[in-house]
Amino acid sequence: MAATSRTPSFTAPEAQPPMGLRERKKLKTRVAIRQATYRLIQEQGYEATTIEQIAEAAEVSPSTVFRYFATKEDIVLTDEYDPIMEAVLRSRPLDEPPLESLRLMMREALTSFATAEDEELRQRTRLMVEVPAIRSRMTETMSDTAKVLSQVLADRTGRSADDLRIRVFIAAVLGALREVALYWGEHGQEGDLITMIDEALTALEGGLRL
């Protein structure tokens, strides 16, 4: 959401055409639905919150909610990380080791997001820990991210994005990162997430010797 308006440093500096009334309304509805959802979940929990309640709170019909978000989980999960991560990763020098580039990428993406939308990040992590459906959907989402990142690494190494080595590489890294996030969430979100990620990546780099 807000990320979209905060990304000029990453996205190509194309001046967006000045949204018509229609698109402005659409965005407002989208935001309204998301905010209503977060509020209701905060108050009564995820499962207890129905689409009907969300629709009512956002002052739209249930049909409309489904028009904006494919599933209930998506209302919570939809984000704009991928383009940011892709841009950062592409901006790294070609001779930098891939793992190092990914480390920087994560650092960059997280710091910008964590300072701007800290509460949302925490809320989401909480849900990821507590609600299986959310966690599940998030994992699926990660495989989209994996595709994007694989493509970038493929471009940079001159291989196919479908190359097994690349896919395994990305899968291992994202699997590890997911686990760090889970751990952080399970332990009351204490400690510095970025440092923990750093350590995880260092472990991967060292060949996972335990």
Partner DNA sequence: AAGTCAAGTGACAGTAACTCTCAAAAGATT
Partner DNA sequence: AATCTTTTGAGAGTTACTGTCACTTGACTT
Residue 191 CB: number of other CB atoms within 10 A? Answer: 11
Report if residue 73 touches DNA, rule: CB under 7 A.
Answer: yes
Q: For residue 132, state whether it binds a second copy (rule: CB under 8 A).
A: yes
Q: Which of residues 5-24 bind DNA (CB under 7 A)?
A: 20-23
175 binds DNA (CB under 7 A): no
Which single residue is written with the structure tokens 């080791």?
97
Answer for which of 57, 104, 171, 194 binds a second copy (CB under 8 A) is 171
Considering the rule CB under 7 A, would residue 26 count as an interface residue with DNA? yes
> Taking CB within 5 to 8 Å according to partner kind, which of a second copy, DNA, none is near residue 49?
DNA
**CB of residue 83 to DNA, shortest distance in Å:** 21
Tell me how many degrees the CA angle 205-126-44 measures, rounded to the nearest 5: 165
Structure tokens at 92: 């790294």
Number of CB atoms found within 10 A of residue 153's CB: 21
CA dist 84 to 12, 87, 178, Å? 11, 5, 18
Q: Which is nearer to DNA, 40 or 153 (CB)?
A: 40
3-state SS assignment for residue 34:
helix
Q: Catalog residues that contact a second copy under the rule CB under 8 A.
A: 97-99, 132, 135-137, 139-140, 153, 157, 164-176, 178-180, 182-183, 196, 199-200, 203-210
